[in-house]
Amino acid sequence: MAEIVNTTYNDDAIQTLEWNEHIRRRAGMYIGRLGNGERQGDGIYVLLKEIVDNSIDEFSMGFGKRIDITIEDKTVTVRDFGRGIPLNKVVDATSKLNTGGKFDDTNFKKSVGMNGVGTKAVNAMSVDFYVASYRDGQCSYAHFSRGILLDAAIEPSAEKNGTFIRFTPDSEMFGDFIFHMEFVESMVKNYSYLKKGLTLMLNGEAYKSENGLLDLVTENMSETPLYPLVHLEGEDIEIVLTHGNSYGENIATFVNGQNTRDGGTHLAAYREAIAKTFKDFYKKDYKPEDIRQGIVGAISIQIQEPIFEGQTKTKLGSTYMREKQTKKADGSSDVDRGPTIRSFVNDFVTKNLNDYLHMHLDIVPIIEDKIKASQAEREEISGVQKKSRERAKKTAVYNRKLRDCRYHFSDTKFPKGMEEQKELTSIFITEGDSASGTITKVRNANNQAVFSLRGKPINCFKESRKRVAENEELNLLIAALGVEEDMANLRYNNIIVATDADDDGMHIRMLVLTFIMKYYPELIRRGHVYILQTPLFRVSNKKERMYCYTPEERDAAAKKLKNGVEITRFKGLGEISSDEFGAFIGEDMRLDTVKLSDEESIQEIMEFYMGINTFERQRFIMGNLRSEKELEDVDI
C-alpha cells in the first residue's frame, strides 16, 4: 500500500511564478547545466552564445559584417552592427517570454533561435544586464538586474545602427565562475568558419575565415591527412572530409551556424551517405565502420525552423529541411516540410562526392587501401573480442563487473517526465570491489551505473590492437559503454573515472584514459569523459565536519574549526563510508572534464605520458608532483 503523506493540497499550493523567477528556479530547462565555467557546456558559455547567436542571425540576413566581443573578468559585452532591436520593443524583447521576431521566416531565415527565450534567460540569470539598440540616430536602452527592470529610455545617439548588450552572470547561480578563454576562442573560431565574410573581434583580436569549413578542418587537424581534403559546397550544405591513421571518427557538425557537438539527424545522414557513396563507387560490400574508420571532416547545413533537443541546441532533432505550418482559409493547417534531412544530405553527398572521386582518381587507391586496412584489422580482432566476452559471460564475470542503471542515454524515448535526467546518465569506472560497493550503495539507480575494474588494465599505447582485443577488462568496459559498433549507441552521457587518490589509482586512471583516447577519442572530444574528484581529507571536531579536496582547503578548515580538530586522510574510495559518499556523487559532484582539442595530437600526448620514460617526462613529473608528506603536513 502506498504511504499516505499528510499534506494540505489546496488553492494556496498553486503558485504562479514571474518569468524571471521561473527561469532562475528551472535553469536546466533554458540553458542545461549551470556550472562554474570549468566545462565547455557550462551555462555561462550558453549565455554568451545566446547573445552572439542573435548577432550572427543579423549577419546572415545581410546586416553588419563585424561583431565585437569583450570579456573582462566576469562581464561580457557584445556589439553588432545589424538592424538593432525595434526601439519600442527593447524591453519586451529582452524580458517577456515568447516575445521575439523569429516566430516566422519574414525577418529571420534559417536562424538558430526560434522560441524567444535565449536573451530573456541571459537577463534573468545576470546580476547586471544592459541592452541598447541603435537605430537611425536614436538609442533605446534598458537596464535590468536578475530580470527586474531598473531603468529604460529612448534618447538621441550618434552610434551606428546595431545592438549592444552587457551582462554579468549571477554568482548566486554560477558560484565563483570564470570564463576560460580557450572555450570562448573555440566558439568564436567556429562562428568565423561558418560565416565567411564575417569578422569577429574577441578582446581586440580578429577572427575571420575565407574558406569556411575547409579552414576549420585544416587548422584543427593534428595529423597529416592521407589525401588532400575534399571540400564540397552547395545550397544550404557544405562538407569536408579526408582520412587519417587515427582510430574513430572526428566529424564536426553545424546547423545554421550552431555547433551541434552531440550530432543529430544531419550527422547520422552524413555518416550514412559517406559509407553508401564509397561502397557504391568501389562496387564492394565494405562495412560502414571500415569506410569511416579514421575519417576527419565536417558538415554544415542551413534549415528553416530547426528543432533541437534541449535549449542548449547541441543536438539536431529535425527530420525535415523545413517544417513550416500555415493555416488555410477554412481554418485547417497545412505543413510544408520539404525534403527530409536524410535524403537532402544523401543526394548531395552521393552526387558530388562521386563526381569528385571520378575527377581525382589519384586519391581513389589511397582511400581503398585505408578501408581495406581497417577491414583487415577489424576481422583480426573481432574473433578475439568475441571469445573474450563469451568466456567472461560463462564465468558470470560480466554481471559482477557492471551494476547497470534503469535508463540510458541511447534510449530513443526517455521515460516521460524524466527527459532532463537523460543528460545525467553516468557510468562510474572504479577499481576493485570495495570502491564499487561504496558507490553502488548510494548511487541513483535510475541513471547511474557502476563498472568495476580488476587490477590495472594494459597500457594500450605500447600494445598491439590484437593484444588489446584480448584484454577481458577493456572488452567488457566497451560492451558496457555500448560503443562496440557505433558511437551513436553510447549508453551513458557521462563516463566518470573514479579511482583512488594514491599512486595505483592515478596509474589506473591514466591507463583507462589512454585506452579511450587511442581507440575512442570522440568520446573525449564530445565532452563525455570526466574524472571524479573526491575529498582527500575529512576535518572534524565534536560539533562540525568538513570535507576538503586540497591541502589548502584542509588547512583553512582546520583553522575554522579550531579546537579538538581531527583530520582524516582518504586514500581509497572504499575508506569513505556509504553515508558520506552519497554527497559526493549527487547533483553537486565535482567533475574534471577530460579535454582534447581537435588540434592536439593524440599520438604526441600518449607518447609523452605513456611512452618511453624520457628525461623530459621526469622533469615534468618532478615539477608538478606533490609528495605524500606535503599532503599529510598540517599547518594550523
Please provide the DSSP assignment of 435-500 as one string. Answer: HHHHHHHHS-TTTEEEEEE-SPPP-TTTS-HHHHHT-HHHHHHHHHHT-SS-GGG---SEEEEE--
Task: Please tell me whether residues 71 and 173 are part of one structural domain.
Answer: yes
Instruction: List, for residues 453-503, the tens digit of each pLDDT value.
Output: 887 888 888 777 778 877 888 888 888 898 877 888 899 999 999 888 777
- Asked, for residue 416, whether it belongs to a domain, the answer is yes
Region for residue 137 given its phi and psi (left: phi exceeds 0; alpha: psi -120 to 50; beta: otherwise): left
- Which of 400, 399, 520, 515 has its CA nearest to residue 456? 515
pLDDT band (50, 70, 90) for residue 219: confident
348 pLDDT exceeds 80?
A: yes
SS3 31: helix
pLDDT on residue 346? 94
- Number of other residues whose CB lies within 10 A of the CB of residue 355: 11
- Asked, for residue 24, whether it belongs to a domain, the answer is yes
**Among 9-18, 58-67, 288-297, 544-553, the least confident range:** 9-18
- How far apart, in whole angstroms, are the C-alpha atoms of residue 156 and residue 423? 48
Are 542 and 562 in contact by the 8 Å Cβ rule? The answer is no
**Among 157-161, 256-260, 297-301, 445-449, the least confident range:** 256-260
Instruction: List, for residues 371-411, the tens digit of each pLDDT value.
Output: 999 998 888 877 777 776 666 565 555 567 888 988 888 77
Region for residue 562 given its phi and psi (left: phi exceeds 0; alpha: psi -120 to 50; beta: otherwise): left
- Which of 173, 197, 181 has its CA nearest to residue 60? 197
CATH of the domain at 425: 3.40.50.670
Task: Please tell me whether residues 287 and 200 are part of one structural domain.
Answer: no
pLDDT band (50, 70, 90) for residue 517: confident
Region for residue 504 given its phi and psi (left: phi exceeds 0; alpha: psi -120 to 50; beta: otherwise): alpha
The last residue of one of the domains, among 207, 240, 273, is: 207
Instruction: Give residue 556's identity as a one-letter amino acid code.
Output: A
Backbone angles phi, psi at 29, to 5 degrees: -70, -25
Task: Please tell me whether residues 51 and 96 are part of one structural domain.
Answer: yes
The last residue of one of the domains, among 151, 175, 207, is: 207
Task: Please tell me whether residues 27 and 158 are part of one structural domain.
Answer: yes
- How far apart, in whole angstroms, are the C-alpha atoms of residue 476 and residue 449? 14
- Asked, for residue 436, whether it belongs to a domain, the answer is yes
Which residue is associated with the grid cell 493540497? 9
The grid coordinates of residue 406 equal: 534503469
- How far apart, in whole angstroms, are the C-alpha atoms of residue 111 and residue 302? 8
- Asked, for residue 239, whether it belongs to a domain, the answer is yes
- Number of other residues whose CB lies within 10 A of the CB of residue 288: 16
pLDDT on residue 32? 75
- How far apart, in whole angstroms, are the C-alpha atoms of residue 298 and residue 321? 18
- Asked, for residue 161, whether it belongs to a domain, the answer is yes
- How far apart, in whole angstroms, are the C-alpha atoms of residue 491 and residue 483? 8
- Number of other residues whose CB lies within 10 A of the CB of residue 12: 7
CATH of the domain at 191: 3.30.565.10
- Asked, for residue 386, whether it belongs to a domain, the answer is no
pLDDT on residue 327? 64
Task: Please tell me whether residues 561 and 589 are part of one structural domain.
Answer: no
Instruction: List, for residues 60-98, the tens digit of each pLDDT value.
Output: 888 989 999 999 989 999 999 999 999 998 998 898 886
CA angle 303, 305, 311 (to 5 degrees): 110
Are 42 and 33 in contact by the 8 Å Cβ rule? The answer is yes
Are 294 and 245 in contact by the 8 Å Cβ rule? The answer is yes
SS3 566: strand
The grid coordinates of residue 250 equal: 572526428
- Asked, for residue 628, whether it belongs to a domain, the answer is yes
Task: Please tell me whether residues 405 and 343 are part of one structural domain.
Answer: no
In the predicted model, what is the mean pLDDT of the chain? 83
pLDDT on residue 424? 84
The last residue of one of the domains, among 161, 176, 207, is: 207
Task: Please tell me whether residues 247 and 147 are part of one structural domain.
Answer: no
Task: Please tell me whether residues 316 and 401 are part of one structural domain.
Answer: no
**What is the separation of C-alpha 268 from the centre of its chain, rounded to a whole number of angstroms?**
17
Task: Please tell me whether residues 264 and 201 are part of one structural domain.
Answer: no
- Asked, for residue 13, whether it belongs to a domain, the answer is no
- Which of 301, 348, 303 has its CA nearest to residue 324? 303
The grid coordinates of residue 294 equal: 579514421
pLDDT band (50, 70, 90) for residue 328: low
Which residue is associated with the grid cell 488555410? 328
Start-to-end CA span in the chain (Å)? 55
Task: Please tell me whether residues 289 and 350 are part of one structural domain.
Answer: yes
Query: For the chain, what percent of residues have pLDDT higher than 70?
Result: 84
pLDDT on residue 634? 46
The grid coordinates of residue 57 equal: 542571425
Which residue is associated with the grid cell 535590468? 144
- How far apart, in whole angstroms, are the C-alpha atoms of residue 80 and residue 66? 6
Instruction: List, for residues 410-430, the tens digit of each pLDDT value.
Output: 776 666 666 667 788 999 999
Cα R_g (the chain), whole angstroms: 27
What's the Cα-to-Cα distance from 120 to each of 68, 308, 312, 591, rounded to whole Å?
Answer: 21, 18, 14, 29
- Which of 335, 265, 276 has its CA nearest to residue 301? 265
Task: Please tell me whether residues 224 and 344 are part of one structural domain.
Answer: yes
The grid coordinates of residue 198 equal: 564575417
Are 298 and 217 in contact by the 8 Å Cβ rule? The answer is yes
Specify the number of domains making up the chain.
Answer: 4
Exposed, middle or buried by CB within 10 Å (0-12, 13-18, 19+), for 11?
exposed
Write the CB contacts of 4 (distance below 8 Å, at least 6 apart in sequence). Answer: none
Instruction: List, for residues 526-553, the tens digit of each pLDDT value.
Output: 889 999 988 889 899 888 888 888 888 8
Task: Please tell me whether residues 137 and 266 are part of one structural domain.
Answer: no
- How far apart, in whole angstroms, are the C-alpha atoms of residue 276 and residue 281? 8
- Which of 401, 440, 444 has its CA nearest to residue 573? 440
Domain housing 202: 19-207
pLDDT band (50, 70, 90) for residue 5: low
> Stretch 133-148: mean pLDDT, rounded?
93
What's the Cα-to-Cα distance from 499 to each of 341, 475, 478, 582, 586, rounded to whole Å?
Answer: 43, 19, 18, 16, 17
313 pLDDT exceeds 60?
A: yes
